[in-house]
Structure 1
Amino acid sequence: MNPLDALNETAFLLERELAPGFKVKAFRRAAAVVAEWTPDELAARASDGRLKATKGIGSRTFEIITQALAGRVPDYLAGLRERTTTTLPGEVATLREQLLGDLHAHSDWSDGTTDIPSMVAAARFLGHRYLALTDHSPNLTVANGLSPERLEEELDVVAELNESDATGPDFTLLAGIEVDILEDGSLDQEKALLDRLDVVVASVHSKLRADSATMTKRMLAAIDDPRTDVLGHCTGRLVEGTRGTRPPSEFDAAAVFAACAANGVAVEINSRPERQDPPDDLIRLALDTGCLFSIDSDAHAPGHLSFIDLGAARAVAAGVPPERIVTTWNLPRLLDWTARR
């Protein structure tokens, strides 16, 4: 097995099971070291002892590299594969195969853990045709939200990756943002910049305990903005995880979903295990109201992109038809939709 592939897959699977960040970083760091050498160089360093003494290579990563060089799947990786590989039930597997992309993912430009090319490589590994890069907006300083100047720089990076074919054949990296819905319902980024993006995911990240009337007014204003494409994790709830739990925000869901349906805004089925947002009853309400949906990972690391398996399962359980899920659409249809207003 290729040692670099073994290290990257190990990191990916650890991210998928939400392992501690320090553990994942050890494998990502070792992969960055190994990527600098040719296969012959790596083999020579492993055999003469230099590899073991190299900064960034620990005992576990050294074991993985040497076992891969010996032509076998490393023991640690084999164990990870065994405990993280699941078989999706029939209807879920069918929907998962129909999902062509993901409209909500973060890189280390905001609060993600890896660079943009690493996110692209993972999306391609999963069979995606497109991925929207949606780093945070300026108001979310705790997540290193992008100022207008930094967003412009990121747009240049996205364009360069697509133009250079660095994203590979049959794959497109979409320029996007997860923009904060501010307290007055406006979107937290310059309008001219939002107009240049392929995808705008609008989410509430502050004052989540506001009263229902205040929150409803705030969300309706954002949904009415013609730049909004997806309403992200609409209740803001947390049901598990290291951040603890958080109850859903209170708002008039019938009014909010009616506005989404009227404006063609997709309701996100956020696939992160700790969010599972919206709750099941609200997915069904949005479905009955006539809403579109977007099954997204809200990935902050490459391995998180595979969370869409969980979102697919929730969509199937709620009876959401594939044609109402925008992430089953091909790229031309998707971009026609995001340009609709």
Structure 2
Amino acid sequence: MVRAVAATAYGGTEVIDLIDVESRAPEPDEVTIAVRAAALNRWDAKQAAGAAGTDPAKLPVRLGSEAAGVVTAAGADAVSLEGETLAVGDEVYGHKLRGAQADELTVKAGLVVRKPPAKSFVEASGLLSNGTTAVHALETVGIAAGDIVLVHSASGGVGWLVSQLARLRGARVIGTASERNHDQLRSLGVEPVTYGDGLAERVRVLAPDGIDAAIDTVGTDEAVEVSLALLGDPARLVTIANAQFATVVDAGGHAIGGGAGADPGTAIRDAARLTLAKLFADGAIGVDVAQTYPLDDARTAYDHLVTGHAGGKVVLEP
């Protein structure tokens, strides 16, 4: 039997538990993976709460979409995302892996890529969901060399990758974060500012002529209000936070991701996966991991995630 994290009812973290499911042999185009790390995302907690529906017939709902591990079985036509035939013993990672928070997964081989030997399973498990969101945000507001971009929650999971990718494009990045994360951001070449009262004035000190673009990864009223106050063109504001979709779109900005009124950006995100994988393998980008937990402590890991102060990725290690 396979242990898997699931919502056994619809609700808060109290409904999250481990269940036993049957192991499944791979089809010709699939691989079975012994999971070494599975990253948590906020959508996982929302799904447990019923954001995708509350049909009791669908319970228990397995959780997770990102994982990294070792191939233990491969179908005859198991070809990875980068077009390589996979075999037993290969180390891989991927996302869009339904029910990824488990100690074993059988998935389409085309959803995974090879993990670089120098990278940990924990870090690899948290790259693609946040990374593809980050690329979508940057593309949406056209970040290019010479731009000054304000990244809200630059030390968060998505903001961390937005900041790195923007810097690689030649942009100057000003990032909001709590004081304790400022040194980390400086190590990325980001100019940190503390969020809270007076944020607009602190940003103006760093950028007296204003900013060129803003990326909201946190969803606070402050993030949106300050961005609009500092931007010359509201069309260069993008939010990934559902709570601000209507406000930002009404102001002339963009909303991306899941939810009403947002651009899912499926083609952009899918195309970004191999680019992100190469940058990751080359050491040009990395994933900030806030905390790891054993699979048995999945509920505690979700408690950490939903506090809103996790910072980097929260990861389970089966």
TM-score, with structure 2 as normaliser: 0.32
Structure holding more helix per residue: 1
Which is richer in strand?
2
| TM-score in terms of structure 1 length | 0.31
Q: Give the greater-gyration-radius structure (CA).
A: 1
